[in-house]
Chains A and B, each alone.
Chain A
Amino acid sequence: MRSSLPGTLTAAFIIAGKDLRSELRRRTALVSAIVFAALILAIFNFARDPTSLRADQLAPSAFWITCAFAAVTALSRAFAVELEHGALDGLLLAPVPREALFLGKFLGNLVFVLVVEGITLPLFVLFFNVSLNGALPGIMLVAVLATIGFVAVGTVFSALTARVRFNELMLPVLLLPFMLPPLAGAAQVTAALLNGRPLLESAGWLRLLLVYDITFVTLSLLVFPALFDE
């Protein structure tokens, strides 16, 4: 059946594919995350006093705060769709390990948040008038590294809070503290790259992001099955 590693990965891709297909059709989470991101960027831009704070000083933090809140908007939907008609029971009854369920939801969320970040990046360039000359590959790498970690934690918290009252409030309260390390790292690397510094200069932050990813993906895999042990 699907207990082996290839079987687990196959099941994970099936679940992720279903989520992405649903989202492509529904588009509400994607559109609301992008609109939300654009609004935050606009607020940051227009609230800044250009005589006291240069755009490039604020830009990295603004970009990552925007991505963080857009990601929370997306993650809050991740398990809500499974509860609409009790579909979660169907997943739990399927002959696949709970780890496959985690990996599937994680992969779906990861692709979704990376797409939102990819759409937010040109908006960010537009609003803050920053140049990505030579910085784009580095920013893409740091985006992937930072996003893996907080999406893993976010997937667990999304499952944890889905059946809780006021879950829209609970998810950011639980998740945002865990997002601080990857966001701080990502903002630091982005600032260095936008200032024309080489990526290798930020190797320490990149290592931190990598360790965070390995730690929290592993922990999430271990913790996730217990969430459904009612």
Chain B
Amino acid sequence: MADTNLARNSPILLQAKGLRRSFGERVVLDGVDLSLAEGETIAVTGPNGVGKTTLLRILAGLLRPSSGEVLLDGVPVRTADPASRAAIGLLSHRAMLYDDLTLQENLEFAARLHGLPDPRRVARDALDQVELLSRSADSPRTLSRGLIQRAALARALLHAPRLLLLDEPFTGLDSAAAERLKSLLAARRPAGLGTIIVTHQMHEARDIATRVLALQSGAIGSAAA
């Protein structure tokens, strides 16, 4: 488990209170409470279909909870000014990339939407960080699963978010790439990056998580060691 000293006494970055979400009759989340401090990394585990992705989408503000609220810096995520979304980076199951654009163009597009200065340089730096600069002129459709995952990670990180939400980030990554991801996240932690990782691969997540939580029967608790 990662060192927890950094996160201790840090200001609260994200707070979820009494999150409940149902799809029709099926209750997926039933009163989830969660708080994440700046510089903290939480790993959330749980069996398939327990609502981990739903939780992540609610935390990102992409999905409305049936009840409860998510506060980012004390401001509700759903009603916040669009500018506050700049603080969130999301790596989801899907890469959020366009097949008809090159990797460079995909990341430049994202950088422009975020209003970042010099989008071309930002995109190149982000690709360099995940060691994909040599493939910058390639379309995502030509990349393997692991390389797409790295490109998606570059997209999630290029605007230097303060809150990073990662859904199964180790999927498709070889051991070297998984190590690089872990050191990338560790390097950003002192700057206050708060990270929530949803994963089945606990052996990977334990290396970087400051806390491990289990999502079960719609509620969250501490995971067994």
Taking beta carbons and an 8 Å cutoff, which residues of A are in contact with B? 1-3, 7, 11, 14-15, 18, 21-23, 25-26, 81, 84-87, 89-97, 229-230
How many pairs of A and B residues are in contact by the CB < 8 Å rule? 86
Interface flags for B44-68 (1: CB within 8 Å of A; 0: not) read: 0000000000000000111110000
A22 and B113 within 8 A (CB):
no
Which 7 A-B residue pairings sit nearest by Cβ, starting from the closest? Answer: A86-B94, A1-B83, A90-B96, A94-B113, A22-B100, A95-B86, A95-B85
Shortest CB-to-CB span from A81 to chain B, Å, is 7
Contact A97 B82 (CB under 8 A): yes
Point out the residue from A84, A89, A91 that lies within 8 Å of B92, measured CB to CB.
Answer: A89
Contact of A14 among B90, B96, B98, B113 (CB under 8 A): B113
- CB neighbours (8 Å) of A230 from chain B are 62-64
Per the 8 Å Cβ criterion, residues 17-55 of B in contact with A are: none
Assembled-state Cα–Cα distance A22/B105 (Å): 10
CA distance A1 to B99 in the complex (A): 28
Are B115 and A2 closer than 8 Å at their CB atoms? yes
Known A-B contacts A11-B113, A95-B82; the reply to A85 vs B62 at CB < 8 A is no
Return chain A residues, CB-CB under 8 Å to B85: 93-95
Residue of A2, A25, A89 near B96 (CB, 8 A) is: A89
Q: How far is the CB of A19 from chain B (nearest CB, A)?
A: 10
Chain B neighbourhood of A14, CB < 8 A: 109, 112-113
- B194, CB-defined interface residue at 8 Å: no
Give the docked Cα–Cα distance between A105 and B93 (Å).
Answer: 24
Kindly list chain A residues whose C-beta atoms are within 8 Å of the C-beta of B95.
85-86
Docked Cα-Cα span, A94 to B86, in Å, equals 6
| Alpha-carbon distance A85/B101, docked complex (angstroms) | 13
- How many Å from the CB of A129 to the closest CB on chain B? 38
